[in-house]
Chain A
């Protein structure tokens, strides 16, 4: 069975601090995708990144970076120099990789991030 665990329920930091959101996953699939989504108060899920299980390179996009460690089944997300606008709930998620049909996404329970001015 597939499972995503986000052990941090809530994190609060002061603006400009760096913060890391942890994500651990379980799957029996050899090929899969990992995701991070942001959910601001408006409720819409905003896509941040997708990572294929074959690609363990870390990725950086502006102040955001992701560390994929297949050996520990982790896909952690770091925000550098956090800003108040980063305040939101962040979800880590997992899906199978299929060619013939789309695959449902399994979400973690989310981490609520609050950035204090």
Chain B
């Protein structure tokens, strides 16, 4: 597609439920990032993939958060046993190659945990 696509656009989860958020990067983009944006804050880095390899997961807030990109294209961010503090917008960004070629962000998934 022309841009980074994220689904679902909105997700409401009951506390304790598992959720899976999907990111479709721009075709051919090697690098993929996940960010978490709490209300009124700037995006915060979660994790980074180069192709299928997860090179940096230092931003994942707990072991309830897990991300994968098994074929080096689509990525899924999974949150287990959701808690209210997980409520945020989850943004995905992709970049053409390693090194810096500019990032394109998706519109995000707004997760609300009730």
Contacts and interface: CB of A to CB of B under 8 A. Distances in A.
Interface residues on A, range: 20 to 34
26 contacts: A4-B42, A43-B89, A43-B108, A43-B110, A44-B107, A44-B108, A45-B93, A47-B104, A91-B43, A97-B100, A99-B98, A99-B99, A100-B99, A102-B30, A102-B50, A102-B95, A102-B97, A102-B99, A104-B59, A105-B33, A105-B43, A105-B45, A106-B45, A107-B43, A109-B40, A110-B41
Contacts, number: 69
A101 B42 contact: no
A43 B45 CA distance: 17
Interface in A13-54: 33, 37, 42-45, 47, 50
A95 B103 CA distance: 12
Of listed A33, A45, A91, A100, residue having the most chain B CB within 10 A: A45
A91 B98 contact: no
Given A45-B91, A47-B102, A102-B31, A109 B45 contact: no
